Every structure is written in structure tokens, then in C-alpha cells.
Structure 1
Amino acid sequence: MKILVPATSANLGPGFDCLGLSLGLFNSVVIEKSNLFSISIYGEGSENLSLKKNNIFVSIFNEVYQRLSGKKDAFRFIFENKIPLSRGLGSSSAVIVGAIGAAFEMAGFRVEKQKILNEALKYENHPDNIAPAVLGGFVVSVVENENVLSIKKPIDENLSAIIVVPNVFMNTEQSRTTLPMSLSLKECVFNLSHSSFLTACFLEKKYDLLAIASKDLIHQTRRMKNLPELFEVQKCALENKALMSTLSGSGSSFFNLVYKEDVKYLKQRLEQKFKDFKILVLEFDNKGFEIC
């Protein structure tokens, strides 16, 4: 079997731990029953020996597969990774969702997306990345009694994403340590109102209001201080036709939403100014993970 899992961009500014969307950039894993365990990695992480010795995908897959099937079988895993590691594009969520979905399939169980999503919550305790990785599109999620409740909206074909990928890693757990333990009422109301407004903008296709809706007071500025160039990335994007420009997850990548007709213009401006950063033009994914 083969499973494809998309990259994701989470938070989208004010929607901390609850908003996310799915990008047309995929990790794929081919899994075959074998007499001996083996693993091959191509693309992102292929030179990282620790990913072969301590592979989280394999660990989660084996754990779920053995629980479902009651068997300890050997498998060959072939990874083709296109999602950059530790850049805020959901590489960890892609691993979790892919491993669980593949384990259900290989164990002979029906792959129900809601079940996969709830199972994934056990490994990542907030749904902003795992929900769009499972469902695709723009997704709003809450957690209730250890279940993920999500509303999905397909993203229009006339929109594209331009992702600015710095050559600097940002660890999510370390990044969270920069966040405050308490917030003022003003900050909470600001983010609640902007997150709600941003959701309404996507649902009603009011994209020209997203630059206002995507403002945040909780996490972005604090995290961006770890890489000050990101302030210039955001400024450049918003001044050159980006509909919104937000830190992707905990960073270091930056997500920019743009009308397709403006992709070339914004891409050129970003490439001219940030020559050391990778600029990716991506479509959106409205399907979530797929088993081939």
C-alpha cells in the first residue's frame, strides 16, 4: 500500500491550536509485508541517520497495527519526504496521521477519517495540524471529550499559497516556551474576535478582509523574535498583494495566501529580497490523506 499525507499550515495568525489548512505538498510512504524489517528514506531527512534508527512513523505504525491485528509482522517502509522538517509545515502531523491511517489499512480495518483523527489526537494533543492533514481544506476544530469536532471548507481554486522557508529550524516544543503563561483580557478578546472573523472570511469567501482578520496578539510576535527577518517577510508580502501573511505553525516558515493572478508578482518580490530563503508556490489540498 501507499499513503499520501499533505503538509499543513496551522494557527493562521489568531487561531492558535484550532485553525489550519492543507497544502499541496505531500509525504508518501510505501509499506510492504516482508520477511525482515527495512527502511529507506528519500527526500527530506534522507541524510538524518536518527530517522532510520528511531523512526516515529514506524513506532506509531507498529503500535497501532499490533493493537488492531494482535500480530507482530515485519514490514518494509519506503519514505519519499517532501515536507520540510521542523519548519512549521506539519511534518510531525503528517507522520502521525500517515502512520495511523496506514496501520488501519494494513490491519484490514476500514479507514474512517474521523476515527483516524481521534486516534491522532492521542499523539498530538491539539488539532490545528492533524485535522487538515486528515480532512484537507480549511478546517476549524475543537476538542470535546477526547474527540475532535471539525468543520471543513474547501479552498477555492483561484487561490494559491506562497511559502517562505528559511534555512533555520524551529522546534515546536522550544517555541512554546517563549509563550506567556497568562494573557490579559484584552489579548484574549482580540484573538477570539479575529479568529472568529477569519473563519467567517473563509466561509463567506471574503478574502480581501483576511489581512485584518489574521492579526494575532498571542504567539506570532514572540516566536518571530527568534528570527527577526520574519518581520520583513510579513511586511514585504502584505505590501505586495498577499491577502494574508502568517507564521506557519510555530515557524520558521511563513504562509502567504494570494490570488493566482498575483502569484508571479509576489514570488518575484520575495525572491529578490530573501535570496537565502526557499520560496515555494503551492496549490491547496482539499482531500486530506489518501491511500493508494
Structure 2
Amino acid sequence: MIKKITVSVPGCIGNLGSGFDCIGMSIELFNIFTFELSEKFSITVADPDIDSTEENLCFKTFENVCKLFNKKTPVIRIEIKSNIPVGRGLGSSGTAVLSGIIAGLCFSGRNIEPSEILKIGRQFEGHLDDIAPSLLGGLVIIAEDNDKLIWKQFEIPDGIYSVFFISEQKFSTKKAREILPRKVPLSDAVFNLSRACLLPFAFFEKDSNLLRIALQDRLHQIYRKKFYPHFDILYDSAIQSGAAGCCLSGAGPSVVAFSFGEPNNIVKRWTHVIKEMGIKGEIKVMKPGGKTTWKLY
């Protein structure tokens, strides 16, 4: 019988540029969750933004997965080592959902299959452009066909860097979705479709001109950036500093710029800009990639 499981889950860039709700990329920044049988329920976490009660997202997911397979939820203690800031568009909530699903499947005696994880994850997240890349790693394109999930996963070539401006201010993913229109012009839909088709090739061929275009968007970024006054400033300065492309990370408010080679110019420029403009946040350089792993005890 399983007594303990540790799940390591990377963050991600969901809604990658033109790939609204269908394309995402994992990043090498991990949250680590340990679920262990115990005589008393508890959650240990240092991050004050993460709930330590039974309302905690990873526990609620774990509990619901156990119920899904008609298993009694065991008494457990959870330890969370959080490295991904909450509410900044780096996939923190997706890591909690994935860890809860995987732990729930293990403690319910189920096999861990990507298709089952993603099918369950859809119930909690609604869209899978975040948890699919965090689970599978790399660049992931995901779609549905009559309730069947279809995806393609690609490894990210070496020498690609992602430079993040991680906003000090949080922004609710729910609110970020509510501000989007229910209908968009046909021309905007075609604009995004054409660019999303180019997106994987831009990365694999390391084509800066192509990536800059492929990351353009008229479905979500154009509306959300109105709530993020720092976006246009950082976008323009990134491109001027030689970035291959730039976009919101997830639903924002964080911004990511890509570099095909050392990103020092972008880092220096952004550091100067946020200081000069009084933009609150930090800059981090991370490599794309990383996937979910787990260990049973």
C-alpha cells in the first residue's frame, strides 16, 4: 500500500501568444508536493498566498479524485514547497491540480496515464493549455474531438531562454477570463489561427522574425493588457533589445520575452525600465521545459 508520494510539477506559460486556451509551454520552475498518510490532517506551506486548510486546491483536487473512484479520502498531511508565485500567470494553480490528481489516482489504486490525468484536469481547469505542458513538458498543443483529448508535445530546442517580468501585483485568472468578449470578429479569429499555426515552427527553427509575428494575438492579450499598463512598455523595450518575441504569461499580469541566445540585453533593458517607470516586480531568466515527475514510497 502506498504511504507517501512526492510530485514535482513545473510552472508554465499558458495561452502562449496566439495559442489562446490551446498552446502552452512548461518552464523550469517547480512546485513540489508531498502527500503522506497521517493520523491527523495538515498542510505545511511557507507561502502565505497558499491556503493551508481543507480548502487548499491540491487537497480539494485530491479529495475529489478519491470520490470519483468511490474511495474514502485517506487522512493525509501535505507538504508544499512553493517556488511559483500565485496569481501571476505562471501556472501555480495548475501545479496544485496536477499534484492532487496524481496523488488521488495513486491512493485510489489507479494507473497514472496522461490521458486520464488530463481528462480529470479538464473538470477542474476547464481548459488545458496550462496543465498539459506542465504534465508533459515542453511545448504542447491540445485540442478536443467529441470529448476526446488530442495533443502533440514537442521538446524545446537548446539555447532558448525566457525572460520573465513577474509582477508584484496579483491578478485573478477568473477575472482575467471574465473581461474577455463572448464573440470576436471573424478577422480576429483568422488573425490568431494563422499565427498559431506558425508558432511551433518559429521556436524549432529559432526564427526571430517569425516568432515575433506568431506570438501576436487578438483574442485575449489585446483585452487583458488594458489592465496591465506595464505590458506595452515591456513589450516595446524587449523587442528593441533584440527579443525574438514577447507576450503575456498565461492570463497575466506577468510578461515573458524569448531570446534565441544569451538574454543579457533584455534583462538590462527591463531592469532599467522598471526602475525608471516605477513598475513593481522582479525579473527572472528561466529555460523553457521540465515535466511532471513523481516518486512513490
| Class of the TM-score when normalised by the shorter of the 2 chains | over 0.9
User: Identity rate of aligned residues, in percent?
Assistant: 30
What is the DSSP-based 3-state SS (H/G/I as helix, E as strand, rest coil) of the residue aligned with 1:123?
helix
Q: Structure 1 153/205 Cα, relative in aligned 2: closer, same or farther at 3 Å?
A: farther
Q: Which residue of 2 aligns with 1:285?
A: 289
Whether the 8 Å CA contact 2:144–2:150 is kept in 1: the answer is: yes
How far does residue 201 in structure 1 lie from its aligned partner after superposition? Answer: 2.3
What is the CA–CA distance in structure 1 between the aligned matches of 2:73 and 2:219, rounded to whole Å? 45
Structure 2 partner of 1:245: 246
| Offset from partner CA, 1:135-189 (integer Å, 9 cap, x none) | 1100111022333211011001211111111111111221122222221121111
Residues 140 and 199 in structure 1, CA contact (< 8 A), matched pair in contact too: no
Residue 205 of structure 1 and its aligned partner are, at CA, apart by 4.5
Contact 2:29 2:83 in 1 (8 A): yes
Q: Is the Cα–Cα contact under 8 Å of residues 50 and 56 in structure 2 kept in the other structure?
A: no
Q: In the alignment, which residue of structure 2 is the partner of 1:36?
A: 40
Matched, 1:234 2:238: no
Counting only pairs closer than 5 Å after superposition, residues 174-193 of structure 1 correspond to structure 2 as: 174-193=175-194
Once the 2 structures are TM-superposed, how far is the Cα of residue 50 of structure 1 from its aligned partner? Answer: 4.2
- The superposition leaves residues 215-255 of structure 1 with CA deviations (integer Å, 9 ceiling, x where unpaired) of 11122121111121111011111111211100111100111
Name the amino acid aligned to 2:9.
Answer: V
Look up the match of 1:92: 93
- Distance of 1:91 and 1:225 partners within structure 2: 23
- Cα 1:49–1:88 change in 2 (3 A) is closer
- Structure 1: how far apart are the matches of 2:245 and 2:58? 33
Distance 2:164 2:50 in 1: 27
Instruction: Number of aligned residue pairs: give it.
Output: 287
TM-aligned CA deviation for residue 259 of structure 1: 2.2
Corresponding residue SS for 2:129: helix
**Counterparts in 2 of 1:107-256, with a 5 A limit?**
107-256=108-257
In the alignment, residue 34 of structure 2 is paired with which amino acid? V
Q: Give the structure 2 partner of residue 105 of structure 1.
A: 106
Whether contact under 8 Å (2:206, 2:260) holds in the other structure is no
3-state SS of 1:17 partner? coil
| Deviant stretches of 4+, over 3 Å | 48-51, 66-69, 202-208
Maintained 8 Å contact 2:44/2:80: yes
User: Which stretch shifts more, 93-102 or 140-149?
Assistant: 140-149
Write the deviation string for residues 190-217 of structure 1: whole angstroms up to 9, x where unpaired. Answer: 1111111213323554354100111111
C-alpha distance in structure 2 between counterparts of 1:207 and 1:69, whole Å: 51
Alignment partner for residue 11 of structure 1, among 3, 9, 15? 15
In the other structure, the counterpart of 1:265 is: 265
Q: Is the 8 A contact 2:156 2:204 kept in 1?
A: no
How far apart in 2 are the matches of 1:133 and 1:40?
Answer: 23
User: Structure 2: which amino acid aligns with 1:291?
Assistant: W
Q: 1:25 aligns with which of 22, 29, 43?
A: 29
- Which residue identity does 2:119 align to in structure 1? N
